[in-house]
Structure 1
Amino acid sequence: MDKLDCMRAFAAVAAQSSFTSGALQLGISTKLASKYVARLEEQLGAQLLNRTTRKVTLTDTGRAYLERCLPLLDQFDELEDVVQLRQQELGGPVRITAPTGFGSRELVEALQPFQQMHPKVAVELLLSDRHLPILEEGVDLAVRFGALKDSTLVARKLCAMRLVVVASPAYLAAQGTPAEPEALATRNCLLQMTSLQPDAWTFGRKDRQRTINVGGTFRANSPRAVAHMAASGLGIARCPHYTALPFLQDSRLQVLFEKQETDPITLYAVYPSSRHLTARIRALIDHLAEYFGPR
C-alpha cells in the first residue's frame, strides 16, 4: 500500500469522524479505508484513532500526527500541480458545497463548461441550505451568499445579486399595487426562511435604510419556492433576482419598489485559509468569477 494513500485515508476518516463517511469522501470502500488506516498505524507503531460503534475519535498521538500530516498532503498536491500546469491538463477531485436552490441550477450551469474543458476533474457537489463546516466535511470550496464570519476562511467575491420584491399581475389587480414599502405590513408576504430576518424587509441603501415588519401565510427555506408561490398569485415575495428572473421574463411576476431596493447580496467562493489551493481549485474559482461576474 502507498503510504500517501494511507495518510489521505486517515485524514479523511479523522475529518469525518467516520470510516464510512471518510471512505465516501475519497470514493473508496469503507473496508479499504479501514485497511489503509490500520496499515498506517502498524507502520507508525501507534494508535491514531479510537474506534467505537458510534464514532471515531483521534487519540492524542493521532491529533499530533494529523497536524503534521495535513501540510504534507497539501505539499503533495502542490507537486501534482506543477506537473499538471506543465502538461496544461487539470485532473483530480474537487468537493464543493452550495445552497440547494442556487446550486441545483445556476451553479450546475456554471460547472458544465468547466468540466467540458477539464474532463479529468471530478466534481462532487454537496447541496445544503445550512453552512456545512468546510474542514470537518473535507470540502475544498464553498459557494455562499453573504458576509464571511469565520476568520479561518478566505472569500473571493464572485458577483453581487439584487434582492427584489415581486408580485404577480393577477395579485396586484385583485389586491391593488402598494405605493410604498410600508404598505407591505398589511399584505400577504411570502417569507424566505434562509434569510437572517425573514419577517423584516429592509429598503434603501446603507445609512438610509428602513425596515418593514411583514408576515403572511407561506414560508419556505427555498427562495425558488417563494418565487414560484408569488408567481401563482398568493402574495408578495422578496427573493434573489435569479430566482424571479424566469417569471419576470414571461411576465408572471413584476418588480415592486425597484428604486428603493436594499443593498445587493454578495456571492462568494470560500475556502480554508490554511489549505493549499491546487491548480484545479484555483482554475475553478477563476472560472466561477469569470462566469458570474458579468451577471
Structure 2
Amino acid sequence: MDGMMPLEDLRLFAAVARHLSFVEAAKRLGVPTSTLSRRVAHLEEALGARLLQRTSRKVGLTIEGERLLERAGPLLDELASVLDRTVDREEEPAGRLRVTAPVLTGSQRIAPALFAFAAKHPRINVELTLTNAVVSLVEEGYDLAFRMGPILDAELVARRIWSMPFAIAASPRYVREVLHGRTRLDRDTLASVPAVMSRAGGTWHLRRKDGSLDELRPNERHTVNDPRVAIAAAVEGLGVVCAPTDALKPHGDKLVQLTVVGRTVEPRELFAVYPSRRLLPRRVRLALDWVKEHG
C-alpha cells in the first residue's frame, strides 16, 4: 500500500460497517451516499482487500471487513472521545435523537425528561418510540434505548439509570372475593390465583430473607403489553398485578397492596443501553446525562 491509509476513509467505512447500510450511515454522517461508496472503494483499493459485500438489498462484512472493524473501531472511538473532550465544544447540540423506551416508564419519566432537554436545546429533534419489545438498535437506527434489566446482550453497553420499586396489588373486591380478605399471602397461594401480566410467560421476581432470588411464575389469566392497561384490569378485579409502585399510587384505594410471607418484591433496574462498538455522539451523551439527573 502506497502512503498512509486516510483516517477519514477508515471512519466512513466504520460507519457503514456498524449500520450495515450506506443509506443509514450517510444519513447519520450527513454526507451523500455516493461519497461514502466512493471513499469505501478507495479504502478497499488501498488495502487490496474487499471489506464489504454489497447487494441490491443489503450490505454485509467480509472476513477482512470484520477484522478491520474489530481492530480499528475501538481506536476510532477512543480518538473521537479524546477529541470530543479536549476541544472546547461550546456549540449547541443539534440533530435527531432517536430513542426507544418501555411504555410505562417511557411515558411517565423518560419522555418528560427528554422533552425538557429538547426545550433547553431547540436544535435537538426527539423521536421517541415507546414499546416493550426489544428492538435491534443498529438495524432500527436508534441512538439509545432504555430497558429493564438484567441486560444480557454482550454487544451492548449498559448504564444503570434508576432502581424502580415494584409491588403486587389487587382490587378490594378481588381481595374480598378471591383472597377471602387476606392481603398477606404465602408464595403458593400467590402463584395459584389469577394474575394480569404485562408479558406473556413472564415471571415475578421475589427476594427471600436469605437474599436469594425466587422467580415466581403466576397463574396468567389475562395479558396485555401495556402495564397501565394491566393495572386498569386489576382495578376491575380481573387478577393480581405486579407493577411499579409509582404507577400503582395514582389509583389510591382502588388497589390494595399485597405482601408475600418470607419474601419482598424485587425492585427492577432501568438501564440505558447502546451498541458497544458505537461512540455516543455528544447530543446523545448529553441527553442521557440529563435523563439520569432529571427523570
User: TM-score, length-normalised on structure 1?
Assistant: 0.74
Shift of 1:284: 2.5
Pair 221,235 (structure 1): closer, same or farther in 2 beyond 3 Å: same
AA matched with 1:255 = Q
CA contact 2:77–2:279 (8 Å) conserved in 1: no
Pair 200,19 (structure 1): closer, same or farther in 2 beyond 3 Å: same
- Name stretches of at least 5 consecutive residues in structure 2 with no aligned partner: 1-5
Question: Residue 246 of structure 2 corresponds to which residue in structure 1?
Answer: 242
- State yes or no: 1:50 paired with 2:53: yes
- Name stretches of at least 5 consecutive residues in structure 1 with no aligned partner: none
Q: 1:253-290, CA deviations, whole angstroms, 9 ceiling, x for partnerless residues?
A: 23222895322111122344554444433332322222
The 2-side partners of 1:123 and 1:115 are apart by: 7
Map of 1:186-205 to 2, 5 A cutoff?
186-193=192-199, 198-199=202-203, 202=206, 204-205=208-209
The 1-side partners of 2:161 and 2:142 are apart by: 18
The 2-side partners of 1:45 and 1:27 are apart by: 20
Name the SS for the 1:256 alignment partner: strand
- State yes or no: 1:144 paired with 2:109: no
CA contact 1:163–1:261 (8 Å) conserved in 2: no
Map of 1:44-123 to 2, 5 A cutoff?
44=43, 46=45, 47-67=50-70, 68=72, 71-72=75-76, 75-76=79-80, 79=83, 82=86, 85-87=88-90, 89-123=92-126
- State yes or no: 1:214 paired with 2:213: no
CA contact 1:227–1:239 (8 Å) conserved in 2: yes
The 2-side partners of 1:74 and 1:139 are apart by: 21
User: TM-score, length-normalised on structure 2?
Assistant: 0.74
CA contact 2:175–2:183 (8 Å) conserved in 1: no
Of stretches 268-277 and 109-118 in structure 1, the one that deviates more from structure 2 is 268-277
Pair 179,95 (structure 1): closer, same or farther in 2 beyond 3 Å: closer
- State yes or no: 1:253 paired with 2:252: no
CA contact 1:94–1:281 (8 Å) conserved in 2: yes
The 2-side partners of 1:5 and 1:122 are apart by: 27
Q: Percent of counterpart pairs with the same letter?
A: 32
Question: Residue 236 of structure 2 corresponds to which residue in structure 1?
Answer: 232
The 1-side partners of 2:77 and 2:213 are apart by: 48
Question: Residue 293 of structure 2 corresponds to which residue in structure 1?
Answer: 290
Shift of 1:187: 2.2
Q: Tell me how large the CA RMSD over aligned residues is.
A: 3.7
CA contact 2:185–2:260 (8 Å) conserved in 1: no
CA contact 2:10–2:43 (8 Å) conserved in 1: no
Shift of 1:203: 5.5
CA contact 1:134–1:140 (8 Å) conserved in 2: yes
The 1-side partners of 2:199 and 2:51 are apart by: 42
CA contact 1:166–1:238 (8 Å) conserved in 2: yes
State the number of aligned residues: 281
